Chain A
């Protein structure tokens, strides 16, 4: 019987990929609050990799761990709808302003509290920062080996796994001992859709804070069905050194932020008519730009 205990690290991010016209302010800068909050795309790939192990090895459990504000509980609900077994939301003002290192420290301390595990699987990077640093830094904090840019797990036994990595100009297959931290590349299979039964089962799953703030008549549900309670940990639930948390624990500081504003050039606009194209080509040849 080979069953695994898997922790999937996931992040809620603003959807920066498709900044539509409605998210642009009049001065040409982005209105960040107008962007929808989504499950970071490569973290969904990570969840799928975990679910495939669970498909093959019944008894495997998947716990999602996310750090963020209260609304990041959405990430855990989304994970439940797709087959995750459990989820923990790490949320506290003490984590505000964390850079990747302080984030990794908090996640690593939460993982230590979670007990024994075989695999930690995370997306390669989050689309709001594109740093790809949290996975390797969590691995270092836990003194575990890391395998980054993973596209596929070829085999996994109780003691080792074999994974395929997607690099810039090719692929590499490596064997690593468990426990290990994997980061998953966007070229890995897409995550399966929500499962209708799981959606029904978990749609009322909530954190304690959400239950307290909700004006609901059916609070007894959360006593009758314990699985609807999403675990919420504040800084007090993890063993920690306060100087390593949040802004204080972040070696990097943001000195300055500039919004990108398009500077228009004086462009010459031509049509696709033969004479216009010929004139342009003649000009480029005359100026030795081409030819």
Chain B
């Protein structure tokens, strides 16, 4: 009872990266709170799934294996969590800020009348004093997130309602195995106890989901382009540089909206968060939403024609110039000096 829960997404027997990152965060929150970390997995092909989950320091894994639970659908997954949470009374429940978690979270929070904070960029344990009501709360979950288009950072708390719920995007938390041999309990849920036939009124007719081909999050170097790249053709220069120096290509929201690059490459608060050892920002002005997804890069190079672009102020190196001129030179001198 009163433990930290993480809803884990699974696809073909593999747990989603974002869920593993949340288990890592959940473990550290549970350590601070001196409580257990519990995971919930629902779907198919879940035999031995605990082997992927327990090493993150999971004390209890709840497994709901049923062909009707795959692919994800709102009502049955929501019913499972709502009823399980009513039994287990978690103090904290976390899920990925994916199209699944952002569909499921609000439904569950509404049914349980508990607070939910979307797209958190930080989760910490802290205290709160309600001076008006003269109540002191300890061990609350601080849910930290940018709001107002990224122009403010808000710390949200849910003093009186449980579970304290939050969603977090992929890449925001770091994934770290606690102990490869960590011992946890495996519980198989009797699915029909939690879900009723009426939860299946929506039917999935067709589904085309591509495997993620782009691994921006794991790339040590990212060459990223913004609206200032100017065209899809100019964007090819970024791919050329990336190919030569062994990097992955990213993009700002403005570049994605302009059609220069696909959604899967979007970096920023509404895209992926990255922390490469080198981030090369090409023609990116550096709006706060974009910086939120890359400012923890070890080193940043900004290539921009505008000396006053906001991104320059967080860059280690600023090259004032046009990418069409600068990138070919970078390729040339990289090749010359590595031979």
Q: Taking beta carbons and an 8 Å cutoff, which residues of A are in contact with B?
A: 14, 16-17, 19, 29-30, 32, 99-101, 104, 127-137, 139-141, 145-149, 162, 165, 167-177, 250-260, 262-265, 267-272, 274, 276-278, 280-282, 284-285, 289-291
A136–B107 touching, CB < 8 Å = yes
In the complex, residue of chain A having the shortest beta-carbon distance to the beta carbon of B160 = A251
A170–B208 touching, CB < 8 Å = yes
Query: Nearest 5 pairs between A and B by C-beta?
Result: A16-B149, A272-B321, A251-B115, A252-B115, A170-B209
Segment 83-104 of B: residues with Cβ below 8 Å from A = 98-99, 102-103
Contact count band on B: 35 or more
Of the residues B102, B156, B207, contact of A253 by C-beta under 8 Å: B156
A-B contacts besides A133-B109, A145-B75, A271-B319, 11 pairs, CB < 8 Å: A19-B149, A131-B118, A131-B119, A168-B98, A168-B264, A251-B109, A260-B288, A264-B313, A267-B315, A272-B319, A289-B277
Task: Find chain B residues with CB under 8 A from A255 CB.
Answer: 128, 142, 155-157
Binds A, one of B21-29, B31-39, B197-205: B197-205
Of the residues A17, A169, A262, A291, contact of B314 by C-beta under 8 Å: A262
Q: Jot down 10 A-B pairs with beta carbons below 8 A, ordered by A.
A: A30-B151, A130-B119, A133-B106, A176-B201, A253-B156, A254-B156, A255-B142, A260-B150, A267-B302, A272-B325
In the complex, residue of chain B having the shortest beta-carbon distance to the beta carbon of A249 = B113
A175–B115 touching, CB < 8 Å = no
Of the residues A140, A175, A265, contact of B205 by C-beta under 8 Å: A175
Per-residue contact bits, chain B 157-177, to A (CB 8 Å; 1 contact, 0 not): 111110000000000000000
A to B contact number (C-beta, < 8 Å): 248
Question: Do A127 and B149 contact each other (CB < 8 Å), given the known contacts A141-B110, A262-B313?
Answer: yes
In the complex, residue of chain A having the shortest beta-carbon distance to the beta carbon of B325 = A272
In the complex, residue of chain A having the shortest beta-carbon distance to the beta carbon of B140 = A255
- In angstroms, Cα B307 to Cα A289, docked, is 24
Is the CB of B180 closer than 8 A to any CB of chain A?
Answer: no
Least CB distance from A109 to B in Å reads 13
Least CB distance from A279 to B in Å reads 9
A256–B155 touching, CB < 8 Å = yes
In the complex, residue of chain B having the shortest beta-carbon distance to the beta carbon of A259 = B152
- In angstroms, Cα B333 to Cα A286, docked, is 13
Task: Find chain B residues with CB under 8 A from A274 CB.
Answer: 329, 333
